[in-house]
Structure 1
Amino acid sequence: MSTEELDHNEKVETTNELQRVASFTKDNIGGDNIITTIDSGDGRVIKVTGDVDEAMELAIDNEGVVLDAEEDKKLLRKIDLYLLPLICLLYAFQFMDKTTLSYAAVMGLRTDFKMTGDQYSWCGSAFYLGYLIFVFPANALIQRFPLAKTTAIFIALWGVILCLHAAAGSYAGFVTLRVLLGILESAVTPAMVLITSAWYKKEEQFLRTAIWFSCNGLGTIIGGGIAYGIADNEANFSITAWKALFIITGVITIVLGAVFYLHIPDIPSKAWFLSEHEKRLVVERIRSNQQGFGNRHFKLYQFKEALGDVNTWLFFLFAVAGMIPNGATTNFGSILLNSDFGYTAKQSLLMNMPGGAVEFVGCILLASFNKFIPHRLAICVFAEVVALASSCMLAFAGPKNVRLAGYYLMNVGPITMISALSLFASNAAGHTKKITTNAVYLIAYCAGNVAGPQTFIAKQAPSYTGGKISFVVCDAFQVLIILAIYLSYYLGNKRKEKKESSAANALKEIENYEFADLTDKENPFFRYSL
């Protein structure tokens, strides 16, 4: 053996030894000091630093902590009890606040502001323009500052803006308030994704996301009931019915923001309802996620990785296609029931409620099948095919009852967005990468929702045929994109399983590497949920 080969072997042995003894301590947490450098074997260098996940501090002291099956079930029940009800209520009222505009439209809003042409459509689009403007800053804020507290402030402020809708003196002022409302609601969905990923195992995230997201349907039911009650008792109010609607929903939202601030912990290690031992158990139960609670520092390389990931852009296309129908029905649902189906203004407020029930029950029911069908994307494909068939019924069927059934059954479509959000929680590892992927998706979400109301052209009233056909086109495109995402994740796992790199062995020697804030690309042990 040559001297050159001996020197090389000696360097390799020294490097391997360093990797074996490398570990995290409380002294080196928080900085960007390098714990160890690993050659991934594919031309990429993985730097494991002390700038780790917030779960690491508890993980270091968790030696000897064992989580048995019975404790795990008990802890999961406790987490569900303390987190899910309030998150569900928040999501219900968030969607109720969005659909308030649709209710107000048949309660005199358009008449009072003398809206003509596509002016009402721009009231709907303005909300998502505000959302679009602030989605990246909102994600940056909830990463940099305490998650739950920051989100609660956003919630309370959006309640204030909702109340101020009643004080708008002109169309321009009203549209400005819609933009501000979108800005303030832009933090809510990414915050819920981060909370879900911090508290639940990968295999639990789809159903939990479905539970809180499906409360959009509950919001439709509650909002429709409130709007009908106000419209039916309009004579008893000293102000116009639609103004009372905005004030009532706004006050409810402000109260909800205050409760959220006091009740929801920023991270599990600060949970007031968990004992010290239970906080350590939370760390152990999410260890298999290969992720932790979060990291407050923006990491440029993770941002670049997110933008260079093909899955990020597949989800971008997925969101645009899915949100065009959503933006249209959110703002034109009551109008369509009134003008196309022939229900009175009051009846149309009530006739939106069955759609909410379909979403609430249907999406949770479909997500619960994940226990028997482990691939959530398979469930997503099925739901989108049902949504496509439903939009065809609405657009092309002759009998009114068939078209109405199609209108209601389209409400299983949100399971596709539920799947996307839960996949961000499960599959986008690295905290900066996660919030970036989330933000890019929500930009597309806004773009689709901005475009959605524009598909309902005033001169096509009362049937709005063009808008209905756009639903069919978008649903068909979504089926293809879901299949592409499915294939991408499947092939990604196959590549990871096929390539046994030295990086895997080196990383395995580092204790608590699961909480090192590595991305899904960096971590050779990471596997994508399907």
Structure 2
Amino acid sequence: METNKEKFDQDTVSPYQNSIDFDVELCSIVKPELSDDMMKIEKNLVKRLDYIYVMPCLCMLVIIQFFDKSALNYSSVLGIKEDNNLDDTQFGWLGSIFFIGYLFYQIPNAYFVQKLNLGRYLGTLILTWGAILGLTSVSKNFAHLAVFRFFLGVFEAGVFPCSVMLISRVYRRKEQAARIGTIYFTGGVAMTVGGILSYGIGHMDGIAGMKAWQWVMIILGGATVIFGFICFFLLIDDANHISKSDDERTIIGLRVKDNAVVVTRTINYSQIMEALKESRFYCFAAFSFFVSLQNGALSVFSSIITQGFGYSNLNAILLSIPSGVMDCIFIFIAIPPWDYYCF
């Protein structure tokens, strides 16, 4: 224990060192009481992370990802099936192919998350999938759509893992739950805003000789590409990049130690085996599986289901708004806003 303490309690631990002899019990040792001035410095640091460098990008990222993932759902009642000669079976496969690509990229994504700068990596993923979504507007048949949907799933696969990883790197453990809850809350907002936006785009049918579903792909794809450029240069994965003084760097060092998260660029297979022997890992995997069962279906077929009750095409899109509102309410109850700042 003493040896570990000496190694861990050296000068500020760099979040990019390759390895560290780490003991979780040290968390209480490296978290001293801060003076009022240092508390004020830390609050200002967290505010910059919350309102400029991290949370705005992540929240907007969740909104854009939901829009792009649901573009097929909204397009289903705007003519994409007819223009691409899709039958019901082929349309169902387009929903599944997205998640096949999503699954395919999980292992490569885990490797790149460890090896690359997360801000630059996420920015590149966003740019790529935005371009793919925009190109979907030129599809003429099932084969074209299948290829575009597969690669859309591939490049969207890194979003949520990277978002959680970023939060775990730059926030204290007690701050993380509210930030992750905010991301889920933003997903509900995206469902609400996505219905309104697609309802408006639905009225663009015939403009410039293009169908409404093509405008959905072009507008959402273009917005995604622009946002990708912003993330590439603004999003950070290390709070030291925005430190303005030695006091801030000291605070960041203490936060890294208190957080008990040390970034390593080396793959440690013993830790992978340790995780595979952990029962809670399988409980979480089962939870994610059952939640995703309904999410995957509704994100593709909800507009068609609503239309089946006799609503018009545009009204079927508009009726997706209540589900987003309910999501926001439930998450608001689970993680109220007064938990956001926990100093």
Normalising by structure 1, what TM-score? 0.57
Q: What CA deviation, in whole Å up to 9, does each residue of 1:73-125 have, x standing for no partner?
A: 33322321122122111110101111111000000111122222421111111
Unaligned runs of at least 5 residues, structure 1: 1-15, 33-49, 54-61, 375-530
How far apart, CA to CA, are the structure 2 residues paired with 1:203 and 1:354?
32
Alignment of 1:416-495 (within 5 A): none
Aligned equivalent of 2:24: none
Partners of 1:250 and 1:128 lie apart in 2 by 19
Quick one: which amino acid aligns to residue 257 of structure 2?
R
Q: Give the SS at the match of 1:172.
A: helix
Alignment of 1:24-423 (within 5 A): 51-52=19-20, 66=34, 68=36, 69-82=39-52, 83-271=54-242, 274-292=244-262, 294-340=263-309, 342-368=310-336, 371=339
Structure 1 pair 23–186 and aligned structure 2 pair: CA distance change class (3 A): closer
After superposition, give the CA deviation of every residue in 1:6-46 in whole Å (9 maximum; x if it has no partner). xxxxxxxxxx87667656768x98999xxxxxxxxxxxxxx
Q: Give the Cα separation in 2 of the matches to 1:146 and 1:312.
A: 26
**1:230-250: CA deviations, max 9, x gaps?**
222313342111011101100
Q: For residues 117-147 of structure 1, give each alpha carbon's deviation from its aligned partner in whole angstroms, at most 9, with x where no partner exists.
A: 4211111111110010011101211210111
Q: Which runs of 5+ in 2 are unaligned?
A: 22-29
Deviations 1:358-396 (A, max 9, x none): 223431332128959x9xxxxxxxxxxxxxxxxxxxxxx
Q: 1:338 to 1:186 in 2, by over 3 A?
A: same
8 Å contact 2:98–2:151 — kept in the other structure?
Answer: yes
Q: Distance in 2 between matches of 1:239 and 1:20?
A: 66
Tell me the alpha carbon deviations over residues 388-440 of structure 1, each in whole angstroms, 9 at most, x when there is no partner. xxxxxxxxxxxxxxxxxxxxxxxxxxxxxxxxxxxxxxxxxxxxxxxxxxxxx
Q: Partner of 1:93: helix, strand, or coil?
A: helix
Matched residue type, 1:94: Q
Residue by residue, what CA displacement relative to the aligned partner does 1:185-230 show, whole Å, maximum 9, x if unpaired? 1111111001111122222211111112321222223322222112
Task: Check conservation: 2:195, 2:318, Cα contact below 8 A.
Answer: yes
Q: Distance in 2 between matches of 1:258 and 1:137?
A: 23
- The code of the aligned residue for 1:79 comes to L
One-letter amino acid of the structure 2 residue matched with residue 265 of structure 1: I
CA contact (8 A) 2:41 2:248 kept: no
**Is contact 1:123–1:178 with CA below 8 Å preserved after alignment?**
yes
> Displacement, 1:306?
1.3
Shift of 1:353: 1.5
* Counterpart residue identity of residue 250, structure 1: G
Q: How many percent of aligned residue pairs carry the same amino acid?
A: 26
Shift of 1:66: 4.3
SS at match of 1:118: helix
SS in 2 for 1:52: coil
* 1:262 Cα deviation after fit: 0.9
Shift of 1:298: 1.0
Q: Which has the higher contact order (CA 8 A, sep 6+)?
A: 2
> Does the aligned pair in 2 maintain the 1:65–1:280 contact within 8 Å?
no
What one-letter code is carried by the residue in structure 1 that aligns with 2:47? R
Alpha-carbon separation, structure 2, partners of 1:31 and 1:338: 52
Structure 1 runs of 4+ with >6 Å offset: 28-32, 62-65
**Over aligned residues, Cα RMSD in angstroms?**
3.0
Instruction: List per-residue Cα deviations over 1:290-320 (Å, max 9, x = no partner).
Output: 224x222211111111111111111111111
Distance in structure 2 (CA, Å) of the matches to 1:158 and 1:252: 11
- Partner AA of 2:225 in structure 1: I
| Structure 2 CA distance for aligned equivalents of residues 149 and 116 of structure 1 | 40
TM (norm. structure 2) is 0.87
- How many pairs does the alignment contain? 329
Give the Cα–Cα distance (whole angstroms) in 2 for the partners of residues 165 and 31 of structure 1. Answer: 39
In structure 1, C-alpha distance between the alignment counterparts of 2:230 and 2:292, rounded to whole Å: 30
